[in-house]
Amino acid sequence: MPLSALKKIELGVFPTPIHKLARLSAHLGGPQIYIKRDDLTGLALGGNKTRKLEYLLADGLAKGCDCIITAGAAQSNHCRQTAAAAATLGLECHLVLGGQAPSSANGNLLLDQLFGARIHWAGEKRKGEDIPNIVSTLQNQGKRPYVVPYGGSNTIGSAGFIDAFKELQQQCHASSQLLEFSDIVFASSSGATHCGLVLGKALCNTNSNIIGINIDKDEQGKDTFKSQLHTLIEDTAQTLSIQYDGTIDDVQLIDDYIGQGYGVVGNLEREAISLCAQFEGILLDPVYTGRAMGGLIDMIRQGRFASSSNVLFWHTGGAPAIFAYADALQLS
């Protein structure tokens, strides 16, 4: 099935802007850094999940669902955006969140509640391990649940980022300087963003390196994220009839910035967040974009990019989590 045959609904505001981070680029003294503002996609304070949900929820509606179920961490941006999208469509939303109910909700969790989501606390299991049980319970109640996978990352969700790459190409062609990016850098965690960009690049026949900064540690005893990513790319290429012949070694995923693990803020994230805020007035988040920008800054300092090149940082959103990480983000 070609991409154009997949159903899509409108949930956000596109195209998202691209602009140069002139002051940050000058401060670092390396390549020109540009930013793609998917923090401005418009659904419930924005983020990359809007693009995936436009395809995923269209699929759910086409299948006649009356409720949505998905999973994530307590501060999941994906869950917050899914809850908002479900509200606009009049669908009940169930969120399976890692951890325990806190005494008071903040950040994304507060927003989940405002959107009317039903929350199921799952302890250690923040990647949707409990979804099948909740699906059976809902079905026994006569409901028709639609499962959005962890992070919205399957072949359907990936379609949103194939479109995103095409959107970028159109913006580059339309720009007065005919922009070209040697590298596109972003936070990679459940895979659909990365997968969509790789396949969008294959369709558009361009040369940019697609470089994901890995955010999460590999789980023991499971296939590595890189190999899951390669499988997702191959499956999506096959489902959507896209010519792709990359191997696992062509997947550029950088594991050097995981630090103390998922959601643990360190100096890397704190520095990146404050540099972007103070040089550009742009907010990054503590879990994803702070870490990815920290990685980009480190790679620039190591001289990985030619100073004549243009590098694109794809901002994937996440700012609502800032408020839930207030203590970790205090600058000393």
Ligand X SMILES: *Cc1c(COP(=O)(O)O)cnc(C)c1O
Sites of contact with ligand X (CB under 6 A): 47-48, 77-78, 151, 153, 187-194, 285, 288-289, 316-318
In the bound state with ligand X, the residue whose beta carbon lies nearer, of 82 and 190, is: 190
Distance in Å, CB of 28 to ligand X, minimum: 22
Q: Which residues contact residue 117 at a Cβ distance below 8 angstroms, ignoring those fewer than 6 apart?
A: 79, 83, 86, 93, 94, 95
State which residue, 158 or 169, has the beta carbon closest to ligand X. Answer: 158
Residue 85 to residue 202: CA distance in whole angstroms:
30
Taking the complex as a whole, the smallest distance from the CB of residue 213 to ligand X amounts, in Å, to 9
Q: Which is nearer to ligand X, 60 or 151 (CB)?
A: 151
Q: Provide the minimum distance between the beta carbon of 139 and ligand X in the complex, in angstroms, as a whole number.
A: 27
Q: How far is CA 8 from CA 12, 13, 154, 215, in A?
A: 12, 14, 15, 28
CA distance 208 to 185: 10
Tokens of 82: 């899914």
- Reported as half-sphere exposure (CB side, CA atoms, 13 A), residue 33 has a value of 25
Q: Nearer Cβ to ligand X, position 38 or 130?
A: 38
In the bound complex, what is the minimum distance in angstroms from residue 76's beta carbon to ligand X? 7
What one-letter code names the amino acid at 182? S
CB of 29 to ligand X, least distance (A): 27
Q: Check if 104 is active-site.
A: no
Q: How far is CA 264 from the centre of its chain?
A: 18
Which residues are CB-neighbours of 96 under 8 A, at least 6 positions away? 69, 70, 71, 72, 120, 122, 125, 128, 130, 131, 134
- Packed helices 155-174 and 192-204: angle between N→C axes, nearest 10 degrees: 50
Catalytic residue, chosen from 76, 188, 189, 208, is 76
**Residue with Cβ nearer ligand X (184 or 192):** 192
Are 54 and 313 within 8 A, CB to CB?
no
* Catalytic residue numbers, as ranges: 76
